[in-house]
Structure 1
Amino acid sequence: MVKKMLLDIGLRGGALALLVLLALDAVLQLRNSRLGRITLLFDLCGIAFLIETAPQFRDSHAVWVLFLRVASNMAAAVFALWSEEVFDDTARPPWIGWTPVGLMALLAIWSVVTDSSWAWLATHVSAVMLVVITIGRVLLGRANDLIEVRRRDRVVFAWGLGLAIVGCTLIGSSNVGMTPALPGVVGIALAAALFRLHRASPITAVAAAPPVSGPASSTSEMTEAEAALYRRLLRLMEVERAYRDGSLTIASLAKQLDTPEYRVRQLINQRLGYGNFARFVNSYRLAEARSALADAGQARVPILTIALDAGFESIGPFNRAFKAVTGETPSTFRKRTLAGPV
Structure 2
Amino acid sequence: MIYLDFALRSGAVTLLMLLAALLWHAPIGWVGRLSVLALAISKSAYLIILMALPLELNSGLEASLTLLSSFTPAAITWLIVSVFIDAPGRRWPWITASVATSFALYGRLAFPYSSSYSLPMATALYASLFMLALWSNRDDLVEWRCRARPGFAVAVAGLGLFLTVGQATGVLQQDTVLLALVQSASALAVILAFAVWLLRPDADRWPNDASLASYPLLPTHDEVADPVLIARIRDVMAAGIWREERLTIGALATKLAVPEHRLRRAINQGLGYRNFSNFINHARIKAACAALTDPDKMSVTVLEIAYDVGFASIGPFNRTFRAEIGQSPSEYRQLAQPGVFADSDKSSSFSANLR
Same fold flag (TM > 0.5): yes
Counterpart position of 2:50? 53
Following the alignment from structure 1 to structure 2, what is the Cα–Cα distance between the partners of residues 50 and 215?
39
User: Does the CA-based 8 Å contact 1:91-1:324 persist in structure 2?
Assistant: no
Tell me the secondary structure at the aligned position of residue 81 of structure 2.
helix
Aligned-residue Cα RMSD (Å) equals 3.0
Alignment of 1:105-254 (within 5 A): 105-119=102-116, 122-169=117-164, 174-179=173-178, 180-200=180-200, 204-207=204-207, 210=212, 211-213=214-216, 221=223, 226-239=226-239, 241-254=240-253
From the two aligned structures, give the one with the greater helix fraction. Answer: 1
Structure 1 unmatched ranges of 5 or more: none
Following the alignment from structure 2 to structure 1, what is the Cα–Cα distance between the partners of residues 130 and 221?
39
Which protein has greater RCO, CA pairs closer than 8 Å, 6+ apart?
1
Counterpart position of 1:69? 66
Deviations 1:170-220 (A, max 9, x none): 57763242414222112213312431342136884343754444999996x
Tell me the secondary structure at the aligned position of residue 176 of structure 2.
helix
Following the alignment from structure 1 to structure 2, what is the Cα–Cα distance between the partners of residues 214 and 60?
49
Residues 217 and 112 of structure 1, relative CA distance in 2, 3 Å threshold:
closer
User: Does the CA-based 8 Å contact 2:321-2:328 persist in structure 1?
Assistant: yes
Normalised by the length of structure 1, the TM-score is 0.85
Counterpart position of 1:286? 285
Percent of paired sites with the same residue: 27
Following the alignment from structure 2 to structure 1, what is the Cα–Cα distance between the partners of residues 149 and 324?
26
Structure 2 unmatched ranges of 5 or more: 343-355
User: Does the CA-based 8 Å contact 2:70-2:109 persist in structure 1?
Assistant: no
Deviation at 1:123, TM superposition (A): 0.7
Counterpart position of 2:328? 329
Residue identity in the other structure for 1:248: L
Residue identity in the other structure for 2:196: R
Tell me the secondary structure at the aligned position of residue 33 of structure 1.
helix
Residues 227 and 186 of structure 1, relative CA distance in 2, 3 Å threshold:
closer
Deviation at 1:335, TM superposition (A): 1.2
Residue identity in the other structure for 1:187: A
User: Does the CA-based 8 Å contact 2:42-2:68 persist in structure 1?
Assistant: yes
Higher mean C-alpha displacement, 162-171 vs 188-197? 162-171
Higher mean C-alpha displacement, 100-109 vs 125-134? 100-109
Task: Number of aligned residue pairs: give it.
Answer: 333
Counterpart position of 2:22? 25
Residues 28 and 167 of structure 1, relative CA distance in 2, 3 Å threshold:
farther
User: Does the CA-based 8 Å contact 1:197-1:203 persist in structure 2?
Assistant: no
Following the alignment from structure 2 to structure 1, what is the Cα–Cα distance between the partners of residues 219 and 47?
49
User: Does the CA-based 8 Å contact 1:77-1:130 persist in structure 2?
Assistant: no
Residues 29 and 155 of structure 1, relative CA distance in 2, 3 Å threshold:
same
1:103 aligns with 2:103: no
Residue identity in the other structure for 1:105: S
Residues 255 and 176 of structure 1, relative CA distance in 2, 3 Å threshold:
same
Deviations 1:130-154 (A, max 9, x none): 1111111111111211111111222
Residue identity in the other structure for 1:148: E
Deviation at 1:32, TM superposition (A): 6.0
Following the alignment from structure 1 to structure 2, what is the Cα–Cα distance between the partners of residues 116 and 11?
28
Deviation at 1:73, TM superposition (A): 3.1
Tell me the secondary structure at the aligned position of residue 336 of structure 2.
helix
Residue identity in the other structure for 1:338: Q
Tell me the secondary structure at the aligned position of residue 281 of structure 1.
helix
Normalised by the length of structure 2, the TM-score is 0.82
